[in-house]
Amino acid sequence: MQNQNLLIANTVSFLIKSIIFLLLIFLYIKFAGPIPFSVNSTTTSKSDAFSVTGEGKADIKPDFGTLRVGVTANAQTVEAAQSQMNTSINKVTDALKNAGIASDDIQTENYNVNPNYDYTSGTQKITGYNANTNLVIKIRDINKANQIIDLTTQNGANQLGGLTFENLDKSKAEDEARIKAVEDAKKKASRAAQAAGFSLGKLVNYQESFGGQPPIIYAADRALPQSGGGDTQEEPGTNEIVVNVTLSYEVR
């Protein structure tokens, strides 16, 4: 009986304390506002990456040439300068067509007639006129490149703007150079990781760029003497295709 009375007394005491506690919380919230409660969180991210570049090269034989030739003429009048220039450039064009160059492969690049000025007297004085025009010639039979150069100069061209040996399709050589560039970059990445003491993760980025340009045989706008020497002897050689790649890896 005594134990039962003690249990009842403890229960009543607990209930009274609980009621008082809840009442105090109610009064605090009512007059002081809500109890402040916050959770601090920290988010971390790892974005370490390692990038390395590689270069690959491949040689390819050119399969066509691009030649720039021109005619310049001077005369006292616009009409005379223009007539001289037209006569010479038309002769060059006819000779090219007779040599098997298609009309679609002969393009006029510019056509200008400008006055020549004399300033020796202290005033501007027109002393004549200069007319000039250029042709861009695509030489599809590369073995005829030297013959075409001589043909144009023999028929009135007195300006050579440049000769380049080029390729219609460079995709095979580009693929070869690309493979070499990627292999080069992978080797560099592996060696660097081993030397620095880290591990390479997955490849996360790839970039590439191309280099290498066909050489220009003649300097631009080089005037030619009226009397020539021997036959032209230019060799097409090979063109170098250069691919540069950048590989980016995750770092472990």
pLDDT tens figures, 17-30:
667 766 666 665 66
pLDDT, mean over the chain: 83
Residue 3 has pLDDT above 60, yes or no: no
* pLDDT > 90: percent of the chain: 62
Predicted local confidence at residue 235, as pLDDT: 78
Cα–Cα distance list, 132 to 78, 84, 112, 135 (Å): 12, 10, 5, 10
Mean pLDDT value across residues 120-144: 93
Predicted local confidence at residue 23, as pLDDT: 66
Residue 87 has pLDDT above 60, yes or no: yes
Task: Give the whole-angstrom CA distance, residue 93 versus residue 88.
Answer: 9
Confidence of residue 181 (pLDDT cuts 50, 70, 90): very high
Side by side, the strands of the sheet bearing 200-211 are: 49-60, 239-251, 200-211
**Is the overall model pTM greater than 0.75, yes or no?**
no
Q: Rounded to 10 degrees, what is the CA torsion of 103, 94, 214, 226?
A: -160
Task: Give the whole-angstrom CA distance, residue 223 versus residue 70.
Answer: 9
Model pLDDT for residues 201-241, shown as the tens digit of each residue: 999 999 999 876 665 554 334 444 444 556 777 778 889 99
Specify the range with the lowest mean pLDDT, choosing from 5-19, 25-39, 148-162: 25-39
